């Protein structure tokens, strides 16, 4: 049948199993929105307050659901407003298809109204991108976009569609959802070699990352760790792969990692890195990283092997596949002495925990932790609160942690939490944010309210940009340049103005009441928690430092 | 794997889809990741759907391994190969316009013959020469002409192909 380009876009999205799209209309996508309107019984569109929010929502949706997130924006400012969201998805390997409108072909390159070269702008932050110049290629390009977004190491793909392509007609044949292709293994997986090393190791440590979450290999990871009796530490992106309360889960490692995890990471004689990319925030000084260990690196992206850390050897392929191969061969091991050593680190870690009461972030986090189940989605913004959540929150379920790892995008949280609600089938979602981060994209409260989302927003309000302040305290002699916000914003009134509800909390009694209220309703609720502005994220390994430089208190 | 930090020049041959924007993608990758391009040449192959690039890069072993892997990740890159210098035919084309006078004309003509070049344009004040060969040969000729005064010059960038019957 002959359809317009705009209709083909919608039909292809539906055909690719896309149920929810996020976006914001505008002059050069008006035809696409017209088709969305007509197809509203088959595909649900969520309008955000700002295109950046829509991009983060599509990202959060993808992380929570495991599907491809889709975002639509108009040309020019609509497209540029997506850029942060696309870069965020790129650095965290999130499958995203961004569709932008553009001026008609004949007006391209003439600095027309609302024209930008979004393909040029997004080239370095997408896996691939397209500008469609022939309506006959539209459907196949969109299918390619989905395939590329979810195949191998996932990532964002942008498709720029000029207005006249949306209006032109051509023959459309419905297709099937494209399969994700697993990259062909470029080298023979030397499982035996890994098995041998495990056999010889006395202090194995598994460093697990986002790749394990992406390939849904949490069960395999758990089995593997138990089998070889190894503790597991995580990168920021990997935290939701394994139940946080398991005894061999040492939690976050790296700059703000937990003490026992950092120590084990440093003392191990065999580091099995799975689905990680050894970011500088995770390794610190590379010359002093796991100095006694042979490092095996398992990842789907060959370019990650030996990129940041020189490995003993790398294995390229899908993490789940390789873990299953390992489970076929690897024999059970016991490492009582290693375990004892780790237990000493855990005891040291716990001895340095802050007191667990009042408005200390750890207490707030643990109070929330007690209220959730394994379906609850946890989102964060970026800064101190994010690190506290990463350190103290014991995640229960897979794909339940939405956080901006690689790009460190303040303002990510609101959009991501909204996407998390949709991606999880309207599960209870909790956003931990700070007064700084929340200020960046708080207009998305409107989106949360319009859609009646079961979203609890916990603002750790210290009146300052806490993470930068912490650096200023430690490295800049307490010169707090532009980090003392001292704003007069009343977040409870603000919540009410948006049609949500909220409470301000300054003490533990109020915290109980606020949490009880927030978790008893199914609509957005803002809890403005006043915390101490000098509360620091500890431990901390200064940038470029190693475990020797760790700051504990 | 431990990498040697010794810098060397290496030759990359890359088969890419003949789409607009491919050159931007590849040069963008190089600049973004801080790899230095010594020369880059691109042209259509016998199949109009593909182009072949010859890229000469200076870097250490780490950069060498990263470039191949990062190029391999681009959707429009079909094949990347590092060509071993000893088994590769390497050729470049030079056009160079040199100052001449009555006194220097014969010296230059002689040099052009020695370098197996060709004079392609000629007038009382200048001579334009074309020369083919390995980049090092072109360098030597350029060096020679400097004392006469180079008016302008352009180089094609190297083309490279492995010896033997196989293709990329």
Q: What are the extents of the domains in chain A?
A: 2-171, 191-351, 361-530
> B40 and B102, same structural domain?
no
Domain-ending residue, one of B58, B83, B108: B83
The pLDDT value recorded for residue A358 is: 86
Residue in A148, A159, A303 to test binding to B, most B beta-carbons within 10 Å: A303
Predicted confidence band of residue A111 (pLDDT cuts 50, 70, 90) = very high
Tens digits of per-residue pLDDT, A500-518?
Answer: 999 999 999 999 999 999 9
- Are residues B30 and B75 both part of a single domain? yes
Supply the ipTM of this predicted assembly: 0.91
CA-CA distance, A496 to A525, in Å (whole number)?
9
pLDDT bucket at B4, cuts 50 / 70 / 90: confident
CATH fold group of domain A191-351:
Rossmann fold (3.40.50)
Average pLDDT, chain A: 96
Domain contains B64: yes
Q: Which domain holds residue B148?
A: 89-161
Q: Which residues of A touch B75 (CB under 8 A)?
A: 127-128, 148
- Interchain proximity B69–A119, CB inside 8 Å: no
Q: Are residues B98 and B138 in the same domain?
A: yes
Q: Are residues B23 and B76 in the same domain?
A: yes
CATH architecture of A361-530: 3-Layer(aba) Sandwich (3.40)
For residues B54 and B16, state if they share a domain: yes
Q: How confident is the model at residue A185 (pLDDT cuts 50, 70, 90)?
A: low
Residue A361 pLDDT > 80, yes or no? yes
Distance CA A546, CA A263 (A): 10
pLDDT of residue A188: 55
Contact between A286 and A541 (Cβ < 8 Å): no
Residue B167 falls within a domain, yes or no?
Answer: no
- B51 and B94 part of one domain: no
A158 or B36, which is more confident? A158
Q: Which of B25, B66, B74 sits opposite A307 (nearest CB)?
A: B66
What are residue B123's phi and psi, to 5 degrees? -150, -175
Per-residue confidence at A15, pLDDT binned at 50, 70, 90? very high
Look at residue B2 and tell me whether its pLDDT is greater than 90: no
Considering the domain architecture, whether residues B30 and B94 belong to the same structural domain is answered as: no
| Chosen CATH of A2-171 out of 3.40.50.300, 3.40.50.970, 3.30.2130.10, 3.40.50.1980 | 3.40.50.970
Contact residues, chain B to chain A, C-beta under 8 Å: 1-3, 21, 24-25, 28-29, 32, 62, 65-66, 69-70, 72-76
Domains A2-171 and A191-351 belong to one CATH topology = yes
B51 lies in the same domain as B102:
no
A294 touches chain B (CB under 8 A): no
**Is there a domain that residue B3 lies in?**
no
Which of these three, B29, B62, B83, is where a domain ends? B83
Question: CA separation (Å) from A267 to A203, A204, A292?
Answer: 8, 9, 7
CA distance A399 to chain B (A): 26
Q: Are residues B137 and B76 in the same domain?
A: no
pLDDT at residue A256 is higher than 90: yes
Q: DSSP letters of A484-509?
A: B------HHHHHHHTT-EEEEE-SHH
pLDDT at A553: 81
Q: Name the pLDDT band for A449 (thresholds 50, 70, 90).
A: very high
Whether the CB of A297 is below 8 Å from some CB of chain B: the reply is no
Closest partner residue to B75 among A119, A148, A313, by Cβ? A148
Alpha-carbon distance B68 to nearest alpha carbon in chain A (angstroms)? 9
Within a domain: B39 = yes
DSSP H/E element including B56: strand B50-59
pLDDT at A160: 98
Mind telling me how many Å the CA of A327 is from chain B's nearest CA? 26
Note the pLDDT of residue A432.
98
Residue A237 falls in the annotated catalytic set: no
CB contacts, 8 Å: B66 with chain A: 303, 307
Q: What is the DSSP letter of A283?
A: H
How far apart are the C-alpha atoms of A401 and A288, rounded to whole Å? Answer: 30
Residues B98 and B149 occupy one common structural domain:
yes
For residue B61, the chain A residues in CB contact (below 8 A) are none
Domain annotation covers residue B57: yes
pLDDT digits (tens, 9 = 90+) for A380-436: 999 999 999 999 999 999 999 999 999 999 999 999 999 999 999 999 999 999 999
What is the least distance, in Å, from the CA of B156 to any CA of chain A?
26
CA separation for the pair A399, A410 (Å, rounded): 21
Residue A70 in tokens: 């889709």
Q: Does residue B106 form part of some domain?
A: yes
Residues B16 and B57 placed together within one structural domain of the fold? yes
| pLDDT(A90) > 90 | yes
pLDDT band at B71 (very low <50, low <70, confident <90, very high): very high
Q: What is the CATH number of the domain that holds B74?
A: 3.30.70.260
Based on the fold, state whether residues B64 and B110 are members of the same structural domain.
no
CATH code of the domain containing B104: 3.30.70.1150
Residues A230-245 have a mean pLDDT of 97
Q: Chain B contact for A120, CB < 8 A? A: yes
The yes-or-no verdict on residue A186 having pLDDT over 60 is no
Residue B2 lies in a domain: no
Q: Burial-class residue B68 by CB neighbours within 10 Å (0-12, 13-18, 19+).
A: middle
Q: Could you tell me the sign of the dihedral formed by the alpha carbons of B133, B137, B139, B141, in that order?
A: negative
A chain contacts of residue B25, beta-carbon cutoff 8 Å: 123
Kindly indicate the confidence band of residue B1, based on its pLDDT and cuts at 50, 70 and 90: confident
What is d(CA A224, CA A205) in angstroms, rounded to the nearest whole number?
11
DSSP 8-state secondary structure symbol assigned to residue A125: G
Contact residues on chain A for B21, CB-CB shorter than 8 A: 119, 123
Select the residue of A120, A123, A306 nearest B65 (Cβ to Cβ): A306
Question: Is A163 a residue of the active site?
Answer: yes
Span A226-235, average pLDDT: 98
Catalytic annotation, pick one of A163, A203, A263, A320: A163
pLDDT of residue A261: 97
User: CA-to-CA distance for A131 and A112, rounded, in angstroms?
Assistant: 16
Residue A343, φ and ψ in degrees, nearest 5: -60, -35
The number of folded domains in chain B is 2
Active site residue A393: no
The length of chain A, given as a count of residues: 553
């Amino acid at each position: 049948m002959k359809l317009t380009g705009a209709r083909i876009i919608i039909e292809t999205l539906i055909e690719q199993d896309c149920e929810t799209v996020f976006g914001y209309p505008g002059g050069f996508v008006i035809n696409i929105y017209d088709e969305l309107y007509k197809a509203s019984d088959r595909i649900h569109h969520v309008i955000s307050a700002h295109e950046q929010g829509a991009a983060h929502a599509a990202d959060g949706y993808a992380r929570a659901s495991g599907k491809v997130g889709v975002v639509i924006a108009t040309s020019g400012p609509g497209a540029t407003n997506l850029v942060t969201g696309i870069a965020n998805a790129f650095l965290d390997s999130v499958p995203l298809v961004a569709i932008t409108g553009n001026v008609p072909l004949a007006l391209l390159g003439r600095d027309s109204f609302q024209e930008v070269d979004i393909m040029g702008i997004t080239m370095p932050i997408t896996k691939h991108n397209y500008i469609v110049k022939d309506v006959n290629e539209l459907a196949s390009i969109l299918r390619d976009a989905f395939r590329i977004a979810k195949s191998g190491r996932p990532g964002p793909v942008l498709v720029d569609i000029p207005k006249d392509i949306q209006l032109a007609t051509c023959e459309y044949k419905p297709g099937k959802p494209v399969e994700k292709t697993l990259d062909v293994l470029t080298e023979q997986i030397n499982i035996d070699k890994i098995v041998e090393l495990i056999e010889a190791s006395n202090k194995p440590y598994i460093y697990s990352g986002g790749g394990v979450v992406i390939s849904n290999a949490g069960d395999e990871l758990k089995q593997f760790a138990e089998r070889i009796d190894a503790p597991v530490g995580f990168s920021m992106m990997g935290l939701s792969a394994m139940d946080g309360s398991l005894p061999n889960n040492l939690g976050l490692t790296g700059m703000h990692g937990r003490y026992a995890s950092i120590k084990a990471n440093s003392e191990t004689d065999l580091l099995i890195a799975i689905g990680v990319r050894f970011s500088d925030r995770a390794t610190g000084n590379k010359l002093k990283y796991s100095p006694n260990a042979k490092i095996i690196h398992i990842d789907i992206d060959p370019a990650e092997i030996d990129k940041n850390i020189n490995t003993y050897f790398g294995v390229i392929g899908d993490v789940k596949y390789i873990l299953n191969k390992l489970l076929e061969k690897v024999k059970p091991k016991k490492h009582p002495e290693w375990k004892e050593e780790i237990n000493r680190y855990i005891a040291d870690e716990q001895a340095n925990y802050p007191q667990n009461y009042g408005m200390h972030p750890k207490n707030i986090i643990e109070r929330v932790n007690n209220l959730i189940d394994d379906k609850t989605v946890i989102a964060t913004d970026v800064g101190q609160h994010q690190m506290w959540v990463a350190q103290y929150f014991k995640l229960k379920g897979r794909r339940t942690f939405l956080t901006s790892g690689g790009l460190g995008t303040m303002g990510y949280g609101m959009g991501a939490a909204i996407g998390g609600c949709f991606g999880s089938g309207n599960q209870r979602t909790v956003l931990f944010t700070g007064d700084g981060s929340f200020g960046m994209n708080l207009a998305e409260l409107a989106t949360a309210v319009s859609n009646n989302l079961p979203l609890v927003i916990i603002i750790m309000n210290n009146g300052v940009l806490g993470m930068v302040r912490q650096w200023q305290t430690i490295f800049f002699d307490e010169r707090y340049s532009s980090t003392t916000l001292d704003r007069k914003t009343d977040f409870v009134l603000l919540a009410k103005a948006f049609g949500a509800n909220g409470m301000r909390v300054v003490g533990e009694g109020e915290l109980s009441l606020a949490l009880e209220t927030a978790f008893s309703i199914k609509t957005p609720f803002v809890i403005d928690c006043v915390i101490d502005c000098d509360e620091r994220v500890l431990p901390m390994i200064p940038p470029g430092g190693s475990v020797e430089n760790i700051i504990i208190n | 794997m431990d990498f040697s930090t010794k810098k060397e020049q290496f030759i990359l041959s890359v088969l890419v889809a003949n789409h607009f924007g491919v050159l931007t993608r590849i040069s963008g990758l190089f600049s973004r990741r801080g790899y230095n391009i010594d020369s880059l040449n691109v042209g259509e192959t016998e199949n109009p759907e593909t182009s072949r690039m010859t890229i000469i890069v200076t870097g250490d072993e780490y950069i060498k391994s990263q470039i191949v892997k990062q190029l391999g990740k681009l959707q429009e890159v079909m094949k990347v190969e590092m060509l071993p210098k000893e088994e590769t035919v390497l050729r470049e084309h030079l056009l160079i316009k040199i100052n001449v006078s009555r006194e220097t004309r014969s010296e230059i003509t002689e040099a052009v013959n020695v370098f197996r070049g060709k004079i392609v344009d000629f007038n009382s004040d200048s001579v334009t020469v074309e020369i083919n060969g390995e980049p090092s040969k072109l360098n030597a000729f350029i060096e020679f002409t400097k004392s006469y005064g180079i008016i302008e010059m352009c180089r094609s960038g190297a083309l490279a192909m492995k010896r033997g019957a196989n293709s990329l």
